[in-house]
Structure 1
């Protein structure tokens, strides 16, 4: 089992996040971030997209330390929205994992990195029985109130179904 210090070190070095940057390098990264934000904003506007519903993780939940794992190593499903500075709400679907239903019917693709291998190896449905299935709802920049309002409507619908 990895120690918490090791996990913290891994988290901060993900993608070389612990490398020191010069002022020029920092400004260049800010430029790329801002350009990415503009591209996404333009896509939202020209395509008429108001909200995106997406997964929050590659499974229902990462196994915790009590199962011999150290939590989530991959956060690609959520960090994109952080970089883009888009409001996001995670909400339950009213569904839960059932190992009899949630089975992999084909061989999974080969992991592309050690992180993917770690995450794929942690998907053990028999240890996650009845874990709630959630999604995330992401809206346009500065539309926080709208995202929360729609998430409440979805939550009301889910609660009325159960």
Structure 2
């Protein structure tokens, strides 16, 4: 069931991506923004790598061209949410595209971990277009509980 839902979500992401590309293409042909109301802008999904060590999960998100001030990171239970926006770079109004693969506008990425994380200890750094987020695992300490044998 989860696999089917994942495929369904993937199809929707692909549909919205094609919708955005067609909108950009129409804008290019018109030489400006089209006069009709554009579809609601759906967020694009940045590529990421997720790995773990004994003590932490690491999430590396590819965000080339994104101002770190435009990025928000949230912890929601076992989920890490990264969202923000990549703004289009200024370019001439009339342009001829040969290839259009770079996404602009709002982005959203959600990662769910298998274990709880220490939400107050999560750290993030942005270097050379990569956002690296370290999410320490929550330590579960084992201790023996004494049994009271009194009356």
Q: Please, what TM-score do these two structures have when normalized by structure 2?
A: 0.24
Rg comparison, structure with higher value: 2
Structure with greater helix share of residues: 1
Structure with greater strand share of residues: 2
Q: Please, what TM-score do these two structures have when normalized by structure 1?
A: 0.23
